[in-house]
Amino acid sequence: MQNPVTTSAAVSADSGRHWADEGAWPVAPGVHRIPLPLPSDGLRAVNVYVLETAEGLTLVDGGWAIDASREVLERSLAAIDRTVADVRSFLVTHAHRDHYTQAVALRAETGARVTLGAAELPSLRAIRAGLEQADPHVAQLRRAGAAELARQWGRLSDGSSADLTVWEDPDSWLAGDLRISVGDRTLDALHTPGHTQGHYVFAETGAGLLFAGDHVLPTITPSIGFEAVVPDQPLGDFLGSLAKVRALPDLALLPAHGPVAASTHARVDELLAHHDHRLTLCLDAFGEGAELTAHDVAAVLPWTRHEHALRDLDVFNAALATMETRAHLELLVARGRLARDEVDGTEVYRNSST
């Protein structure tokens, strides 16, 4: 996707290639975007958004609890004459590591309140129960006909000594759609399951802003259902949540990864078109009498905007691609276009008409 044209005052001048550069970038009156580093550079950075109020700061998302992120957060807040002690609350969009863990780590020091969607609870519990080692994606990949990827994926997460204290419960849970006050700002907290089951976006329609977390990203398509407890129909949930955001007024898109963009409507329409196209490609893979696993289908689809073959992706991305294909096939089953049989523990799909 090309850089968004700056047509709205809410689109900061830093938008574009350099969005991950360190700093507290003004987005709108009383709102700054602070990109924080991640341990791997695939996504480059995660944006946290600072909302200034008379009662102190609220941060949308907290970053990944690593030293480098903490240091950049402190320096960036100092640039607007604030410290981490000024942060009174965190609104966390979802329980992925790069959004949630630093909020919990800072709470232990400063007493800031952490708020998270209630449907993230099963995943938090699973992580704390040590299910990270007994990763559900290993079994999912095996069922998807990707035994070798499952083996390599299992090795990827081996030996990760996760600090479980950063996975403690939040102070408050969000359930349903609700209106919340942040100082004198009014935000609509909207449950948007799909990327994860408990994902929330925060719409400040009065200011024309959508704090989108990972639900709507400007330059990449969000992964679907990559969480410790995998739901039945993550893609169906995600498409429903895109429709929910599309029904809002057109807002400036403040994403967790990538530059601020001018139009939530434009980007949601692109994401809906993308998934329509992928669903069509998946169906097209089924010739006369074909019986295919999700891994088989993933192997004939193009991946990333550079249209790479599955075999050219690294293990992590090949596994994500296979699981995303499975989500598309499961939606086609739910829509009656494909049928699924279980053959020796492997899910095999075929045209429902044959």
- 10 Å CB burial of residue 118 (0-12, 13-18, 19+) is middle
The encoded tokens of residue 63 equal: 């970053």
Rank residues 96 and 142 by Cβ distance to Zn ion and give the closer one. 96
Q: Which residue has the tokens 């005052």?
A: 9
In the complex, minimum distance from the CB of residue 252 to Zn ion, in angstroms, rounded to a whole number: 20
Rank residues 214 and 347 by Cβ distance to Zn ion and give the closer one. 214
Position among 96, 97, 142, 267 found at the interface with Zn ion (CB under 5 A) = 96
Interface region with Zn ion, contact rule CB under 5 A, candidates 12-20, 90-98, 230-238, 345-353: 90-98
In the complex, minimum distance from the CB of residue 94 to Zn ion, in angstroms, rounded to a whole number: 6
Q: Alpha-carbon distance 274 to 108, whole Å?
A: 41
Rounded to the nearest 10 degrees, the angle between the axes of helix 234-246 and helix 264-284 is 150
Output the residue with the shortest Cβ distance to Zn ion: 96
Q: Alpha-carbon distance 19 to 13, whole Å?
A: 10
- Which letter does DSSP use for residue 87 in this model? E
Rank residues 100 and 349 by Cβ distance to Zn ion and give the closer one. 100
Position among 120, 204, 214, 237 found at the interface with Zn ion (CB under 5 A) = 214
Is 199 a binding residue for Zn ion by CB under 5 A? The answer is: no
Q: Alpha-carbon distance 278 to 4, whole Å?
A: 24
At residue 2, φ and ψ (nearest 5 deg) are -70, 165
Total site size for Zn ion, rule CB under 5 A: 2
Q: Alpha-carbon distance 88 to 59, whole Å?
A: 8
In the complex, minimum distance from the CB of residue 98 to Zn ion, in angstroms, rounded to a whole number: 7
Interface region with Zn ion, contact rule CB under 5 A, candidates 27-35, 54-62, 94-102, 299-307: 94-102
Binding region for Zn ion (CB under 5 A):
96, 214
